[in-house]
Structure 1
Amino acid sequence: MSLHRWSPRWLSNFRSASWKDRGIYTGKTCLHLLNLACAIHLISEYIGRPSTMTGPSMLPTLAHDGELVIEDRLSVRLFPERISRGDIVILQSPLEPGRIICKRILGMPGDIVCVDPTGVLAPSTEHVIVPKGHVWISGDNAAYSRDSREYGPVSMSLIQGRLFARIWPLQKATIFRNPATSLD
């Protein structure tokens, strides 16, 4: 095939085998990157993912300056009955649906909980029975926490995961275990 003397030079390069090879390589690379992105999404959405925690509500368990933690999402999805008192959970805020919060579970369905033992938000004698399918949550630093004292019992369907481990800062790295054996 002969080229017309006025045809652009890049057109002949495009038709060469090297351009074909580059296109195949680029296509395969894009496909691998797409597969990787899908795998990362599936793992972070359904198994677990790293997250940063900020805010004073979980002091002293979690610092308010952005610690890096690992969320366990798989066990919450597969075994929701294993959620128990004392677990630190990641959940969707009942008041601000786009916001994710981190709190400790203090009451399970059927438990009777004191709304505000300090008497700051409610009379200290007010008690609530946690309804079926709900939990009572609280921040470890109650003075700086918006929790079930304000929300009331929270639907278990809002729970997205459980805190598994703190990985940053390294000197504070730890695996979170449920400290509650019984609460009076």
Structure 2
Amino acid sequence: MFRGQPEWTRRARLILRSGIIKSLHVLNAACALHFLSTFGMFQFMYGPSMLPTLATHGEIAFEDRFTVRHDPSKIQRGDLLTVRSPLDPRRILCKRVIGLPGDVVCVDPTGHRAPSTEHVLIPRGHLWLAGDNAANSKDSRMFGPVPIGLVEGRLVARVWPLSRFTVFRNPTQVLGYDP
């Protein structure tokens, strides 16, 4: 490096430079993690409740976290959401939006039209969520309307496996409703 400098100053300079580079790597990783947790995140999908839309294991989806957290009014019927479980907040669930605040949902916990059928008015600040595989899903039929504050994000696309890459579009049309 510089001739005439003692060995210890060269070593100190190398150690300092190495420390600065490592610090920049850590800062870069922290910024990337903050960006992902704020704007979007990759989620590993598993479990049978969203069959046939999502496989029981081995799929990775990208979720938009920013839109639904900063403007919950963008949530629509038919959206695929990730939410904290109302029964166990350590678990993240993937469910489809069936009802929005103010909607009345016809609920039959058995999955068949039966005397147990009831109508539920979804309160302000809540959603009615259901798995696509109703016979094998713990959803709003079990725990009722879900507070919007438990929503983590909206699934945008399945990114793995590549052979099943899919951009999720909202398939729901409300009959007799013209926004």
Shared fold (TM-score greater than 0.5)?
Answer: yes
Matched, 1:146 2:138: yes
Instruction: Report the CA distance between 1:117 and its aligned residue.
Output: 6.8
C-alpha spacing 1:114/1:139, structure 2 compared with 1 (3 Å): same
**Structure 2 runs not aligned, ≥5 long:** 1-5
Matched, 1:172 2:164: yes
Aligned to 2:73, the other structure's residue is in SS state helix
Matches within 5 A, 1:1-184: 16-116=8-108, 118-119=110-111, 123-182=115-174
Identical residues among aligned pairs (%): 49
Q: Which residue of 1 aligns with 2:3?
A: none
Q: For 1:175 and 1:43, locate their aligned partners in 2 and report how far apart those are by CA, in whole Å.
A: 21
Instruction: Report the CA distance between 1:149 and its aligned residue.
Output: 0.3
The TM-score with structure 2 as length reference comes to 0.88
The TM-score with structure 1 as length reference comes to 0.86
| Residue identity matched to 1:52 | F
Give the aligned CA root-mean-square deviation in angstroms: 2.0
Moved more, 165-174 or 18-27: 18-27
Instruction: Report the CA distance between 1:173 and its aligned residue.
Output: 0.1
| Residue identity matched to 1:180 | T
In the comparison of the two structures, how many residue pairs are matched? 171
Q: For 2:163 and 2:53, locate their aligned partners in 1 and report how far apart those are by CA, in whole Å.
A: 14
Aligned to 2:58, the other structure's residue is in SS state strand
C-alpha spacing 1:24/1:123, structure 2 compared with 1 (3 Å): farther
**Structure 1 runs not aligned, ≥5 long:** 1-13
Instruction: Report the CA distance between 1:38 and its aligned residue.
Output: 1.4
Q: For 1:21 and 1:102, locate their aligned partners in 2 and report how far apart those are by CA, in whole Å.
A: 51
Q: For 2:128 and 2:53, locate their aligned partners in 1 and report how far apart those are by CA, in whole Å.
A: 18
